[in-house]
A and B are shown apart, each in its own frame.
Chain A
Amino acid sequence: MNHEKRTLEFHVLAVFFALFVLFLYGPLSAILILSFQGENGGLTFPLNGVSLHWFANLFERQAVGDFGGSFKRSLVLGVMVMVVTVVVSLLAGLAFRRKFRGATALFYLAVASLVVPSIIISLGIGVVFQQIGFRPAWYTSAFGAHLTWTLPFGVLIMFAVFNRFSPAYEEAARDLGASSWQTFAHVVLPMIAPSLIGVGLFGFTLSYDEFARTLMTSGTFNTLPLEIYGMTTNVTTPVLYALGTVTTVFSFLVILLTLGAILYVGRRRARV
């Protein structure tokens, strides 16, 4: 902050930041490169030729459990969790703008949902389903388990958004004769749309990558992260890396699409 010192502090911290980014991306890029390993190559460098062999291997059933099926299940589950997270968080965010009995308790319940160890939720839901006599399945028990992880994020984000949201816009709309539904649909919703897209991204990716909560709750069929987790113990070929590359590229595409959507919505609003 001192102006003469600043340059030195800046350079030291810039190097530190660059090292941090390298630390984040270095290993990921190693996997990316090694997934193009030649047919006779192993799990480490050097590359023994370049091939798409391991990607082809990915789609053969015997090599990797059931990649296609588990990917489809994770995708559907992610979308389900995303939709419910966005809707429920938005409603809860609106509720928390006013005082109501139990508001504090509900808020702390949401925080608790964030801090309760994931394996405890997994075990608890597994036991509840067992005692009631329901069969656990990825679209019931695992769905609920994922929501306990995504909803608190959504609720906290909405809480933060409405903390900064000036009621002046709504008052203006009401003064101009808008009904409360019109105020919500034409004033509030467009203003918080980018945040809602962000909540959706969180909901989808957290669910798509979650596996501690799925462990006891997925039932007969595995989700993709469970499939990968199983592979870490018994697969010793670069097909593991190919799977890593495919899922990572997919995650990156989802993030890019979301950012694009947020920018698009923001720009459209600016034009109006």
Chain B
Amino acid sequence: MTVALDQPAATTVAKPARRRRFSFGAVAPYLQSAPLALILGAFLLLPIVMIVVVSFWDYDFAAMYPDFLTTNYSDVLGSWVTWKTYLNTIKFAVMVWALTLFIGFWVAYFLAFHIRTTAMQMVLFLVCTVPFLTSNIIRMISWIPVLGRNGLINSTLVHMGLVPKPIEWLLYSEFAVVLAMVHLYTLFMVTPIFNTLMRIDRSLFEAARDAGASGWQVLWNVVIPLAKPGMAIGTIFVVTLVMADFSTVQVMSGGQSASVALMMKNQMSLLQYPAAAANAVVLLVLVLLMVAGILRIVDIRKEL
């Protein structure tokens, strides 16, 4: 929709400028985009290139030595622990993805189709957004008094006589990790899905109903297909955030569970930078492949 409107408009803007001030009009976008390119070049591209280079270096307990070794990679890929850690991380990613997609879709659906006034929609959307603008660590810690051994849930259950003694696996477990991640990351699913749902032409529903579709058929054959781009963008956010997470896993599992990023962090604290770099390259390739796969479904530029 926006694309069809914008394309001719963009050319009409560009033309007179080019005729009037030939040099400036042509150079302007380059000058305007230069700061972004410079910052991302210095703090994103260069560090990644450096990681790839360092991943081939030699190291001991004190320093790194320029070299061309593949041992860092064979150490990473040849170790059973690495594979188990990767599998564990992917398991977290899949579980958190499924939960945030389900919760995110229905929250967005409720906001988009059941709230009648725009003002109320915005208020409720903000209610969902505000916690996501506060500190992640504080939000993790906030589960301790709820899930802990003497926490709210356990004391309530014991008090009601439902369980004889406090449930141990509520906190410092994989359950706690997944719960905290869903708590931290659901908004990244709600926002893009809400955005796509709001753009669906409501007359499509009437058309579908007039054609004899039931409520579920409208949902399954009209709403969900049209919401797919939003789901894809939300998926990119959630999957990359979970794949990169080390703090939630560390804090919420009490050190009993592992993730790739946590493994990297431990290598970094032992100053084994080349080993961490080899791990980083493997993780980066995996994440970029996942994102590339999702981007085949959706053109981000069209969704903005």
Genuine A/B complex: yes
Q: Is B50 an interface residue (CB 8 A)?
A: yes
| B246 with A119: CB separation less than 8 A | yes
Residues in B with CB closer than 8 Å to A109 are 37, 40, 44-45
Q: Is A156 an interface residue (CB 8 A)?
A: yes
Chain A positions 133-166 with a Cβ under 8 Å from a chain B Cβ: 144-145, 147-148, 151, 155-156, 159-160, 163-164, 166
Residues in A with CB closer than 8 Å to B214 are 2
| B106 with A13: CB separation less than 8 A | yes
What 0/1 readout, one digit per residue, does chain A (6-41) give for beta carbons within 8 Å of chain B? 000110011011001101111110110010000000
| B131 with A167: CB separation less than 8 A | no
| B148 with A123: CB separation less than 8 A | no
Q: Is B231 an interface residue (CB 8 A)?
A: no
Residues in B with CB closer than 8 Å to A87 are 35
Residues in A with CB closer than 8 Å to B228 are none
Q: How far apart are the CA atoms of A241 and B155 in the complex, in Å?
A: 20
Chain A positions 220-272 with a Cβ under 8 Å from a chain B Cβ: 225, 228-229, 232, 240-241, 243-244, 247-248, 251-252, 254-255, 259
What 0/1 readout, one digit per residue, does chain B (51-83) give for beta carbons within 8 Å of chain A? 100100000000000000000000000000000
Residues in B with CB closer than 8 Å to A144 are 39, 42-43
Count A-side interface residues using an 8 Å CB cutoff.
101
Q: A9-B215, A16-B106, A164-B2 are in contact. Are A28 and B131 (CB under 8 A)?
A: yes
Q: Is A97 an interface residue (CB 8 A)?
A: yes
What 0/1 readout, one digit per residue, does chain B (1-16) give for beta carbons within 8 Å of chain A? 0100110011011101
| A155 with B284: CB separation less than 8 A | no
| A248 with B40: CB separation less than 8 A | no
| B145 with A123: CB separation less than 8 A | no
Residues in A with CB closer than 8 Å to B291 are 115
What 0/1 readout, one digit per residue, does chain A (108-142) give for beta carbons within 8 Å of chain B? 01111111111111011111100100000000000
| B267: min CB distance to chain A, Å | 9
| B145 with A34: CB separation less than 8 A | yes
| A117 with B244: CB separation less than 8 A | yes
Q: How far apart are the CA atoms of A186 and B140 in the complex, in Å?
A: 45
| A120 with B51: CB separation less than 8 A | yes
Nearest CB to that of A10 among chain B residues?
B114
Q: How far apart are the CA atoms of A251 and B279 in the complex, in Å?
A: 35
| A127 with B54: CB separation less than 8 A | yes
Q: How far apart are the CA atoms of A154 and B290 in the complex, in Å?
A: 24
| B29 with A167: CB separation less than 8 A | no
Say whether chain A's binding surface is mostly helix, strand, loop, or mixed.
helix
Q: How far apart are the CA atoms of A240 and B251 in the complex, in Å?
A: 14
Q: How far apart are the CA atoms of A255 and B134 in the complex, in Å?
A: 10
| B32 with A92: CB separation less than 8 A | yes
| A209 with B2: CB separation less than 8 A | no
Residues in A with CB closer than 8 Å to B12 are 167, 171
Residues in A with CB closer than 8 Å to B152 are 30, 44-45
Which listed residue (B43, B51, B103, B143) contacts A145, Cβ 8 A? B43
Q: A127-B50, A163-B6 are in contact. Are A211 and B137 (CB under 8 A)?
A: yes
Which listed residue (B107, B114, B148) contacts A20, Cβ 8 A? B107
Q: A45-B152, A106-B36, A228-B138 are in contact. Are A120 and B283 (CB under 8 A)?
A: yes
Q: A10-B114, A128-B50 are in contact. Are A147 and B43 (CB under 8 A)?
A: yes
Q: Is A88 an interface residue (CB 8 A)?
A: yes
| A97 with B209: CB separation less than 8 A | no
What 0/1 readout, one digit per residue, does chain B (78-108) give for beta carbons within 8 Å of chain A? 0000000000000000000000000100110
Nearest CB to that of A21 among chain B residues?
B127
Residues in A with CB closer than 8 Å to B45 are 109
Q: Is B304 an interface residue (CB 8 A)?
A: yes
Q: Is B280 an interface residue (CB 8 A)?
A: yes
Q: How far apart are the CA atoms of A26 and B145 in the complex, in Å?
A: 11
| B29 with A98: CB separation less than 8 A | yes
Q: A21-B127, A167-B9 are in contact. Are A43 and B148 (CB under 8 A)?
A: yes
Return 12 A-B CB contacts under 8 Å, by A number: A30-B152, A31-B142, A44-B150, A45-B145, A102-B37, A123-B47, A148-B39, A148-B43, A171-B13, A174-B16, A216-B268, A254-B133
Interface pairs A-B: 6 shortest CB-CB: A124-B47, A117-B244, A95-B32, A27-B142, A144-B43, A95-B33
